[in-house]
Amino acid sequence: MARQLSILTLIVLALVSGYFIAGLGSVGFDYDFEKFFPEDDPETQYFLDYRKTFGSDNDFVLIGLLNREGIFNEGFLRKVDRLTDSLATARHVLSVQSPTRVKQLTFDPLFGTPIERAWLRFDQPQHYQRDSSRIYRHPPLVGTLFSPHGKALCLFVETDEYISKEAADELAADLNRIMNSFTFDELHMAGRATGQAYYVDLLQHEFILFISLSILLIIVFLVVAFRSFWGVWVPLLVVMMAVLWTVGILARMDLPLGIMLNVLPVIVFVVGVSDVVHLVTRYFEELRNGKPKMLALKTAYKEVGLATLLTSLTTAIGFLTLLTSNIQPIREFGSYTAMGIVLAFLLAFTLLPAVLSLSSIPEAVNHPTNRNFWDRQLRKLLSRVLLHPKRTFAGCIAVLAISLVGTSMMVSDNYLLEDLRESDPLRQNFYFLEEHFGGVRPFEMSLYVQGDRDVWDLEVLREMDKLSQYLQEDYEVGAQISVLQVVKTLNQGRHNGNPERYRLPDTQEQLNKLVRNMEQAQRAGMLKALLNEDANRARMAGRIADEGNIAVSNKDAQLATFFAENINPGLLQYRLTGTSLLIDLNNKSLSTNMIYGLLIAFGVIALIMGVLFRSMKMVIITLIPNMLPLVMIAGIMGFAGIPLKVSTSIIFTIAFGIAVDDTIHFMSKLKLELMKGKSMLYAVKRTFLSTGKAIVVTSIILCGGFITLIGSNFLGTFYIGLLISLMLLFAVLADLLLLPVLLFFFYPREKFIPGNQQSVSEPKPFRSVTTG
């Protein structure tokens, strides 16, 4: 009967697997940074409304070109002009602003008709000296299209609004093809579309890389642990099927793998192995004790099954606490990873027993050297721990004190390209554009004209001019665009392009003459990106260096002070917005979300231990060894200067949910021993020897699996791999060194009875655990 049930189980699982395998061809990859905007936040809704009025702040690509001999070189400029023509042919490109095509507006002195002339006559070298003098006396051109030092030019490529992933891929392909056909001393390209395509390529590469490395490392660990082919392929089969099902479900749901979900298969893989190793280890132990195969299998699941259920539950809950986040990719990562862990648990209780019942007893069971090695080492370790408990306590207190100092040094900060390493080509592109053209971080400000005035009021424009000068000189906003620049340009054009007249008109009457030209442009929709229809709300935008959330927040505070002290509130009010501001907002809620998640995780663990032992002491004993590694990781982050951001804030709840698994296995086994009427000393010793190997092996596997993530080009993924690995290492040390000491600290000479708050005295204190 058992054999038939096992065969039926394997057939059903094979059919389900076939269904998911058939859908793997639709697995996609995507990176959309707008998904990281905080949902249900007033600032997000404000920005979306703002974007409907003025358009997107991020639908462009910047191309920086360096010529070491200087930009006023005929061969270089002709090449730039040809590049401009080629870029205009790319799919999803609306326009190209190029230094070789930019025009200066003037007006005919007799008839007043507008006349356009080139700022740079690139095909007439004899005019280079005069043109360069004109260009560098015109502020809007310097730091936008022409670098201040005269070594680089910038092309501004405007793309379709709200470009889709498919369109972004097409645009990136066209731009890369075009750029590869030209040769410059240096060429740097940055923008939403090209960045998105670059991220997706990295995600695809790393997805394959991490899965491969995880499989390789786990094979090595399983060979060392079980020293048999059987001990490798059985656990591997279970976890591989769990990963297959998880990715298959995502594919069937048409949910692409983003920067967060990309590490999901690795996590499911290494966490799933933990349950399998505990079950197989116990199964081997029962076989070595002489039990028949089926009885050994039943005993293993009876004694380890509950602990495995609880560990899967706590790990899944650790990920589900991420649902407290208001960031969609974080919630998706938490929920679907929890789903994968549940699937791994289900397969460990269906596929694994079916395979074990149909397989013959593995030869590894008859290798006594393996068991003897672990017994010897674990006996020695436990003896040293219990014979020197004060040393353990003193060491833990010292580590805690040092970690608290480091924790106090933690900061919350983020950058637009925080996920890329310093040496990454895309990050280097951003650095080049920041150095030569003022940066690529969008700056957006919405201005509200007060009362019954509009922006065509000279007093209002003068207030805007003061604000613009502050933004340029103190806030360091480059490439500014607003109606202010339009008015100044028209005024300069009315005075035959005189650089001294690039300023506001002197009188309202002079302004009114310019306004008539702009009202025509406004009706034609030419000022739509700068002004609303009623001309009482205006956009002031630009680009700044990506200095991080802390630096930008300080500048925002200084801006508020300047505005309150220098701008007439009866004429003008402002509100900051934009994609950069929304991304910064995520960091402000990180600490709160992290604390909520940890409190939920602590509560679940306390509830489980409370139900299991019905003792508050046991709850405290369980939590302490798992809270200490949290503080240690926070301390390391503080000392190392690793900021708290989206990718690092989720580490604590995830790692806690995983790390507590070993504690649950230890405490579950301890309860079984205590239920047999054993003394605390004997119960701790048997538990330590019985679960010690599985705890160490699974921790090594988990650390090994997560440590593969440090090879990622994404710093967020790198920190997830590094910090979770460290925390799991600290957690297993706490379980093996601190947990036994805590048990005897709370129950020094007593026999604890699960479910009974009372304890009975033991005949004498322990001295050694090398016998018994």
Q: What pLDDT, in 10s, does the model give residues 335-355?
A: 999 999 999 999 999 999 998
- Dist CA 517 CA 496 (whole Å): 16
Other CB atoms within a 10 A radius of the CB of residue 672 amount to 19
pLDDT of residue 762: 43
Is 412:643 a contact under the CB 8 Å cutoff?
yes
| Residue 687 amino acid letter | T
Other CB atoms within a 10 A radius of the CB of residue 633 amount to 25
48 Cβ neighbours under 8 A, 6+ residues apart: none
Both tokens of 554, joined, read: 């300080």
Region 752-759: what's the mean pLDDT? Answer: 49
Residue 463 has pLDDT above 90, yes or no: yes
Eight-class DSSP state of 501: G
Q: Are strands 186-191 and 103-107 parallel, antiparallel or unpaired?
A: unpaired
Region 395-400: what's the mean pLDDT? Answer: 92
- Dist CA 40 CA 44 (whole Å): 7
Give the chain's mean pLDDT: 84
* Residue 587 C-beta-side C-alpha neighbours within 13 Å: 20
DSSP letter for each residue of 135-186: HTT-GGGBTTTB-TTSSEEEEEEEE-TT--HHHHHHHHHHHHHHHHT---SE
- Dist CA 724 CA 655 (whole Å): 6
- Dist CA 352 CA 233 (whole Å): 11
pLDDT of residue 343: 93
Please write the tens of the pLDDT for every residue from 343-392.
999 999 999 999 888 888 776 666 655 556 777 888 888 888 888 888 88
- Dist CA 733 CA 382 (whole Å): 12
Is 543:442 a contact under the CB 8 Å cutoff?
yes
pLDDT of residue 556: 93
| pTM assigned to the model | 0.78
- Nearest residue to 538 via CA among 474, 475, 440, 463: 463
Please write the tens of the pLDDT for every residue from 42-66.
888 898 899 888 877 678 899 999 9
All domains of the chain in start order, with CATH = 60-197 (3.30.310), 228-358 (1.20.1640.10), 381-410+589-750 (1.20.1640.10), 425-583 (no CATH)
DSSP letter for each residue of 81-110: HHHHHHHHTSTTEEEEE-TTT-EEEEE-TT
SS3 readout for 434-483? HHHHCCCEEEEEEEEECCCCCCCCHHHHHHHHHHHHHHHHCCCCEEEECH
- Dist CA 481 CA 444 (whole Å): 10
Region 54-80: what's the mean pLDDT? Answer: 90
Please write the tens of the pLDDT for every residue from 576-600.
998 888 888 777 666 677 777 788 8
pLDDT of residue 336: 92
Kindly report the backbone phi and psi dihedral angles of residue 531, in degrees, each rounded to the nearest multiple of 5, phi listed first: -150, 145
- Dist CA 609 CA 557 (whole Å): 48
Is 599:612 a contact under the CB 8 Å cutoff?
no
Region 293-299: what's the mean pLDDT? Answer: 89
If one compares 359 and 400, the residue with the highest pLDDT of the two is 400
Residue 760 has pLDDT above 50, yes or no: no
- Rounded percentage of the chain residues whose pLDDT exceeds 90: 29
Residue 302 has pLDDT above 80, yes or no: yes
pLDDT of residue 769: 43
Is 737:392 a contact under the CB 8 Å cutoff?
yes
Longest CA–CA span in the chain (Å) reads 115
SS3 readout for 639-691? HHCCCECHHHHCHHHHHHHHHHHHHHHHHHHHHHHHHCCCCHHHHHHHHHHHH
Q: How many helices (H) and strands (E) does the chain have?
A: 26, 12
Residue 767 has pLDDT above 60, yes or no: no
Both tokens of 97, joined, read: 């602003």
Which secondary structure element, helix H or strand E, spans residue 188, and what is its range?
strand 186-191
pLDDT of residue 771: 38
Residue 207 has pLDDT above 90, yes or no: no
pLDDT of residue 612: 75
- Dist CA 484 CA 79 (whole Å): 33
Eight-class DSSP state of 762: -
| Residue 458 amino acid letter | L
- Dist CA 610 CA 689 (whole Å): 24
- Dist CA 717 CA 199 (whole Å): 13
DSSP letter for each residue of 531-570: B-TTSSEEEEEEEE----HHHHHHHHHHHHHHHHHHS-TT
Q: How far is CA 210 from the centre of its chain?
A: 16
Highest mean pLDDT among 395-404, 648-657, 675-684, 701-710: 395-404
**What pLDDT band is residue 241 in, cutting at 50, 70 and 90?**
very high
Q: How far is CA 7 from CA 275, 283, 350, in A?
A: 22, 20, 11
The distance in angstroms from the start CA to the end CA of the chain is: 40
Region 490-501: what's the mean pLDDT? Answer: 84
Both tokens of 678, joined, read: 């054993």
Is 238:232 a contact under the CB 8 Å cutoff?
no
pLDDT of residue 523: 53
Q: Which residues of 84-108 are buried (b: 16+ CB within 10 A; e: fewer)?
A: bebbeebebbeebebbbbbebbbbe
